[in-house]
Amino acid sequence: MKKGFFTILALATMTLAFTSCKDKAKEAVTTEAVVAVEKTDVSTKYLVNTSGSTIMWTGHKPTGSHNGTIGLDSGVLTMNNGTLESGTFLIDMTSINVSDIPVDDKNHAKLLGHLKSPDFFDVEQYPTSGFEVTKVETVDGKTMLSGNLKLKNVENNITIPVTISQDGESATITSETFTINRSKWNVQYGSKSFFDNLGDKFINDDIELKINVVANKKA
């Protein structure tokens, strides 16, 4: 009887582990920053619609997760015959928000203040982050966007799967959900990459992101 119970328990554990791995968003391929692409004379310029663009984030820890949004400060991209050619975007780190805790809950302000503090993104010293397109290519039928992501004065190149569309006066870039390893941008708080003996008080290094950028043709 005991043997059968432990067999069932082992199978359940394996199933849970498999499901967790399957559902986890893939980490963006991350390398050193590279030289950005340049626009051509025949490209069409689009300015980012900051009110229609957003970055969704999710952070995990052993006891659960939190999620929210970050806005864009500004940005410009160029299209050439329906293909994204170049782009530079400023991310407004002061706009980081927490969505899963009600605003009138004291824990909302507590978490938001912590994210903005030097422990995490230090928005007083680094009010903006940046992303600069370095390459767009098709791999196994998917559009892969590469760019230099700068956070807290640390810059790395990431590659993520996206959908790029152009419709008359507007262009849109929408990513699949992906993760970045925050330790590669020196975001240290609660990270097992920097601290030992955290027990179950650690916070996962992986941050899930999903990006949606809407831009309008420059008049």
Q: Is position 192 within any domain? A: yes
Cα(79)–Cα(211) distance, integer angstroms: 18
Residues 149, 155 contacting (CB under 8 angstroms): yes
Tell whether 165 is covered by a domain: yes
Q: Positive or negative CA dihedral for 17, 20, 23, 26?
A: negative
Judge whether 10 lies within some domain.
no
Return the H-helix or E-strand segment holding 20: helix 2-23
In a domain, 11, yes or no: no
**How many Å apart are CA 23 and CA 31, to the nearest integer?**
24
Which structural domain, as residue segments, surrounds residue 150? 27-217
Q: Which residues of 41-65 are buried (b: 16+ CB within 10 A; e: fewer)?
A: eebbebebebeebbbbbbbbeeeee
pLDDT tens digits for the chain (219 residues)?
A: 444 433 433 434 433 333 334 466 888 889 888 888 666 666 899 999 999 999 999 998 888 899 999 999 999 999 988 889 999 999 999 999 999 999 999 999 999 998 999 988 999 999 999 999 999 999 999 999 999 999 998 999 999 999 999 888 999 999 999 999 998 998 876 677 676 776 566 678 899 999 999 999 987
C-alpha distances out from residue 143 to 5, 38, 79, 99, 134, Å: 47, 19, 15, 29, 14
Enter the pTM of the model.
0.84
In a domain, 181, yes or no: yes
Q: Which CATH number goes with the domain that contains 128?
A: 2.40.128.110
Number of domains in the chain: 1
Is position 17 within any domain?
Answer: no
Q: Could you tell me if residue 18 is inside a domain?
A: no
Judge whether 56 lies within some domain: yes
Cβ-based neighbour number of residue 188 at 10 Å: 16
